[in-house]
Amino acid sequence: MASFKLVWLFCLHFTLLERPASAHFIVNTPPPLGNNINNEDIAPCGGFTPSGSDTLTAFHVGGDAIDLTTLHAQSYFDFLGMLGDSLSSNWTFLIPTVEQYGLNGFCEPSVEVPASWAGSNGLLQIIQDSEDGVHYQCMHVNFVASVGSPNSACTNSSGVSAQFATDPNLATVDGQTTTAAATSAVPKTPSSATSSAQTSASTSPSKSAAVPTAMFETFWNWVLLIGFIVISIALLAS
């Protein structure tokens, strides 16, 4: 019984203390400049600055995988890129804004960048707009010719879905941090990987669709928390 109590307290520790720190999104592939959950809201790269000594990851201009772990039940993502590492704000949209539902693995298996970027170094940027704010991550890459193949770990978890959508909030953020925002209004031809998503974007869901999800999530967070506390008190008193 005593060891069970210990295990329970261990779980409780993670529930109460670690949850706020695991709140946004993690980039698995290509590796990000860094991931500090406390700075993830700092534009343009979540508090990190690219440098010449970064290890660069090859990214195929004809389409390559971006693998995320998302820790929000609903959020919008923008995928951008630029040449060089001067953070000059000249970001180019790679695909239209994506509205994504569901937790854990979210894999965009074939994101293209302009073919002319092959042979140059550059940055990829992901911006997430979720219920608790806007978060940023960047990846330092060298763009190479042809098409990449996603590794087998790059998958969508069950219950994960996504479609192209409009997010008024991200449009504002992008307007301030990019000079290429106009390209988002004229999405380039989606790759085969995203063409089905493009079709469903015509239903153009609005931000309001996200509100019940967020409320639902918060409600269950509280139920979970109170449940943990009640069971803990019962256990410790036993």
Ligand X SMILES: *[C@@H]1O[C@H](CO)[C@@H](O)[C@H](O)[C@H]1NC(C)=O
Binding site for ligand X (CB under 6 A): 83, 90, 92, 107, 109, 154-156, 161-162, 193-194, 197
Q: Distance between CA 142 and CA 54 in Å, rounded? A: 11
Min CB(32)–ligand X separation in Å: 19
Q: Distance between CA 199 and CA 210 in Å, rounded? A: 20
Min CB(156)–ligand X separation in Å: 4
Min CB(108)–ligand X separation in Å: 6
Cis peptide before 44 (omega within 30 of 0): yes
Amino acid letter, residue 167: D
Q: Distance between CA 42 and CA 87 in Å, rounded? A: 13
Min CB(200)–ligand X separation in Å: 8
Q: Which is nearer to ligand X, 114 or 168 (CB)?
A: 114
Min CB(92)–ligand X separation in Å: 5
Q: Which is nearer to ligand X, 71 or 107 (CB)?
A: 107
Structure-block tokens of residue 167: 């997010």
Q: Distance between CA 182 and CA 92 in Å, rounded? A: 9
| 8-state DSSP, 16 | I
Q: Which is nearer to ligand X, 28 or 156 (CB)?
A: 156
Q: Which is nearer to ligand X, 14 or 124 (CB)?
A: 124
Burial class (CB in 10 A: 0-12, 13-18, 19+), 124: buried
Amino acid letter, residue 92: T
Min CB(163)–ligand X separation in Å: 7
Q: Which is nearer to ligand X, 26 or 83 (CB)?
A: 83
Q: Which is nearer to ligand X, 29 or 92 (CB)?
A: 92
